[in-house]
Structure 1
Amino acid sequence: MVEPQAWVEGYLRAWNSNDPDGIAALFTEDAVYYTEPYSLPWQGRADIVARWLDRKDAPGEATFGWHPVCVTDDLSVIHGITAYSDKTYSNLWLIRFVPDGRCREFTEWWMRHDTR
């Protein structure tokens, strides 16, 4: 069973550094990354790295708190809260792992919090 903590910590390091090698280390060569459940995925490690960097946040721009909702042999479901200075999002991540701990499929659901 792959425990998600090391992977999520690596994701957060990559998010805050925008280091291409750090991003690439998270994913298998043929991984797919869905930025929304029904969108066309980013396909393959090189595409994931390139498209991540096209949409990158500045280091330290957001904070992310998280906890696992469900962990099985190859799937982790993570609930997270992403907070920027002017907006907050709830996130639900589905992360499918290979035995060495890299992600082969990532799907993200996100919802902006109401600002009323």
Structure 2
Amino acid sequence: MADLAALASWIDGYRRAWESNLPGDIQALFTERAVYRTEPYADPWVGQDAIVAEWLLAADEPGETSFRWAPLAITDEVQIVVATTVYRDGPSYRNLWVIRLAPDGRANEFTEWWMEEPDSAA
């Protein structure tokens, strides 16, 4: 699925879920047996139910963040995104996302790397 439009649609859905924290919005992003890694070596959240439950435990408030992204690489197997997340009353983070989209546009696998930008909380 080497398709920028499909990736952009998925990220739009991710932002919608990030802002709404509605279980249906979150679930719509992932296949039934998807794997979500919040860090490369962390135990993954496996399956839609686990992803929704864990997401909601760490949910941000609507309007708390702004987000910019750009594709770094898109192949038939993997989509890599670089992004910046800025918290309204907190730090900024640089993100690297590795996404494996299924043919239906949902993610089979999602891994995020994130790091706080220097002096962003000051």
Query: Aligned partner of 2:52: which letter?
Result: V
- What RMSD in Å do the two structures reach over aligned CA positions? 1.0
Q: Distance in 2 between matches of 1:74 and 1:26?
A: 17
**Identical counterparts, % of pairs:** 51
Q: Report matched runs for 1:1-116 at 5 Å.
A: 1=1, 2=3, 3-85=6-88, 86-115=90-119
**Contact 1:70–1:77 (8 Å) recurs in 2:** yes
TM-superposed CA distance for 1:75, in Å, is: 1.2
Q: Distance in 2 between matches of 1:74 and 1:7?
A: 15
TM-superposed CA distance for 1:107, in Å, is: 0.3
Query: Aligned partner of 2:47: which letter?
Result: G
Q: Distance in 1 between matches of 2:27 and 2:10?
A: 12
State TM-score, norm by structure 1: 0.97
Give the number of equivalent residue pairs: 116
State TM-score, norm by structure 2: 0.92
TM-superposed CA distance for 1:45, in Å, is: 0.6
Q: Distance in 1 between matches of 2:55 and 2:49?
A: 10
**Contact 1:91–1:110 (8 Å) recurs in 2:** yes
TM-superposed CA distance for 1:74, in Å, is: 2.9
Deviations 1:21-49 (A, max 9, x none): 01000000000000000111001110000
